[in-house]
Amino acid sequence: MFSKILIANRGEIAVRIIKTCRRMGIATVVVYSEADADSLAVSMADEAVFIGPSPANQSYLVADKIIAACHETGAQAVHPGFGFLSENAGFARRCAEAGVVFIGPNPDAIDAMGDKIQSKLFAARAGISIVPGHIGEIDDAAHAVRIAEEIGYPVMIKASAGGGGKGIRVAWARQDVEEGFPAVRAEAKGAFGDDRIFIEKFIVDPRHIEIQVLGDKHGHVIHLFERECSIQRRNQKVIEEAPSPLLDAETRAAMGAQAVALAKAVNYDSAGTVEFVAAQDKSFYFLEMNTRLQVEHPVTELITGVDLVEQMIRVAAGERLTFDQSDLAIDGWAIESRIYAEDPYRKFLPSIGRLSRYLTPAEGDRGGYRVRNDTGVREGDEISTFYDPMIAKLCAWAPDRPGAIAGMARALEDLHIEGPGHNTPFLAAVMDQPRYGSGQLSTNYIKDEFPDGFSGLPPQPWQSDVILASAVAMHRVLAARALGAGGDLSPKVKRNTWVVVAEGRRRDVEVTENGSVLAIALPTEGRILRLDEIDWRPGAPLFSGQLDGRDFTATVAPAAEGFTIRFHAVRQRVLVLTPMSADLHQRLPPKAPPDTSRLVVSPMPGLVVSMDVAEGEEVKEGQVICVIEAMKMQNIIRAERDGRIESLGAKAGDSVAADDVLARFA
């Protein structure tokens, strides 16, 4: 077994590998760029080696620097994590030449499966069912259009070296191909250094199901069942779970057998994933094989009890797998939510900034469910534009799927982030939706359920009660503190009649206090709410309590005459008023929003790749105004109206912030 391993990665996966190495008694080295000098991984590792500027192509993607760091520190092996050099056969060969063990599959397996075009040719020869399409390189946009029309729309345009949801577009018509092909090629070149593209038929209403495989260097290959990764946004996985609610035992066995057969055909000798696109009738087609550890591997670990990082290390050291297929069984259900630095209220566009507050749920057994949080950041760390915007992977395990969903919803309540925008409200919305609970998933889920974008969900009765009770309880604490400022350190709040106004809805309340319990009467509704186990102090961002015997946590912030409260996917501005003040508020005229109809603003911070209009130009609705690159993704900004461009606020090469004016209509 190795005594020292170098981790050629960053963020949460570097931290994840360090934890397993510590348990195994293996010393760790991490490499880091300028942006990661003060990162959690650097502070946790036994040694750290600086490898260059923040851009990945000057640091984490430079093989010479990684191998030099191995020699400098005496690391016997290198774990590439995922992304960066993890699926680079050339790097694996360089490691071997340098006398460093690559903790991953052999280079020939990477070559066979790592290239999306070649892997499909290989799978077809091996008798694996594949999606119809053009398996071969494509010259230009005109060539892409001809191929797409031969296959028949819709088609998927994909980067051969792609991964992580980057370098993918679905084209429903000729215009989509003409615009999408160059965008995918540019993304592929920038993210992977390889601009080869292929096109295949897009399966309508598909599900994304993948099989985790594990092989050793002695010809032994097994699978660890499946993960369903159908909840995706822009082809980027958002929520994953294991097992899949679609599969029955027969289909699971068939997919597992096919994945193992493919892995054996290429002498696969590490952890890897065979991805399938599945139809709702349980038919399935080979999509690709990822010759590395997957981002979503924790859900497989939670239902099998197998530490995949440990197995990768042991296999790389030449050990045999100590278990057979018959030794494995599915235990319970696990769900992973990817916590991204992005604003769900602005079409999920990337967000950057410092984590001014980052409170995470307690890990481990929480009574009926377990929580695991894989993260690579701490409060005070910064989410930069240089790397993937993932903050954490929050996981919940329970004996069954309803329990795992409830556990995830509760864990999301206990997570609090301030600074960059984050997608927690959206994830909470999915957990609350009956469709998700039913298991009727597809990769179109987000588009189907949120066709106009995400703006929260209307409150359910229980959620409205939680928001009201939280506001009343916090108001009483603050009112008591205000009275205490007059000299009485333990005053009683004499008033017990209030009006709570949330999103225009007025609710009269009468509050009585019995020890630590608040009884909140709603006279017009004929109900009394019982609030107990209150955990909040002024200034705290989370309010926890037990309402009518049910635990909850809400995100709260003070606001004039009340609070801003978010509970699950409901975000409301709440006023707590005297009856007289409430009557006066009703007489105030509504405030008109500012007119921004003449402005085209940047929806995200990023780099202007191209400005496609000029001052004085007449443009039509839907016409491309410019292209903004953020988090390695190119985003096309279109005109939302006809008109003449009066002025431009940016040019190609400029860095822009969210809401910066890009163009102004006359």
List, by residue number, the catalytic residues.
288
Which two three-digit tokens encode residue 281? 């009738």
d(CA 658, CA 420): 11
d(CA 466, CA 261): 52
Is residue 298 reached through a cis peptide bond, with omega within 30 degrees of 0 on the bond before it?
A: no
CA angle 341, 343, 348 (to 5 degrees): 95
Q: Are 663 and 614 in contact (CB under 8 A)?
A: no
For 240, the enclosing helix (H) or strand (E) is strand 236-242
Q: Which residues of 153-178 are buried (b: 16+ CB within 10 A; e: fewer)?
A: eebbbbbbbbbbebbbbbbeeeebbe
Dihedral sign for Cα atoms in the order 398, 399, 405, 406: negative
Which two three-digit tokens encode residue 443? 């990769």
d(CA 180, CA 547): 50
Residue type, 440: Q
| 634: Cα within 13 Å, side-chain hemisphere | 23
Q: Are 529 and 473 in contact (CB under 8 A)?
A: no
Q: In 355-434, which ranges are E strands?
A: 357-359, 364-365, 370-375, 382-383, 390-398, 416-418
d(CA 384, CA 382): 6
Chain CA centroid to CA 171, Å? 24
d(CA 619, CA 651): 17
Instruction: Report how far apart the first and last C-alpha atoms of the chain are (Å, whole number).
Output: 70
Query: Which long-range contacts does 613-620 make (Cβ < 8 Å, 24+ apart)?
Result: 613/645, 613/648, 613/663, 614/645, 614/648, 615/645, 615/646, 615/647, 615/648, 616/644, 616/645, 617/644, 617/645, 618/642, 618/643, 618/644, 618/645, 619/643, 619/644, 619/645
Q: Are 207 and 280 in contact (CB under 8 A)?
A: yes
Nearest to 509 by CA among 566, 501, 562: 501
Q: What are phi and psi of 370, to 5 degrees?
A: -120, 150
Residue type, 306: V
Nearest to 267 by CA among 136, 100, 126, 162: 126
d(CA 492, CA 385): 51
Q: Which residues of 617-639 are buried (b: 16+ CB within 10 A; e: fewer)?
A: eebeeeeebbbbbbbbbbbebeb
Residue 439 DSSP SS3: coil
d(CA 5, CA 80): 10
Q: At which residue do the structure tokens 């400029």 appear?
A: 654
Nearest to 60 by CA among 33, 29, 96: 33
Beta bridge partners of 50: 32
Q: What are phi and psi of 609, to 5 degrees?
A: -75, -45
| Strands 505-514, 517-522: pairing kind | antiparallel
DSSP code at position 38:
T
d(CA 88, CA 115): 10
d(CA 213, CA 176): 36
Chain CA centroid to CA 22, Å? 27
Is residue 389 reached through a cis peptide bond, with omega within 30 degrees of 0 on the bond before it?
A: no
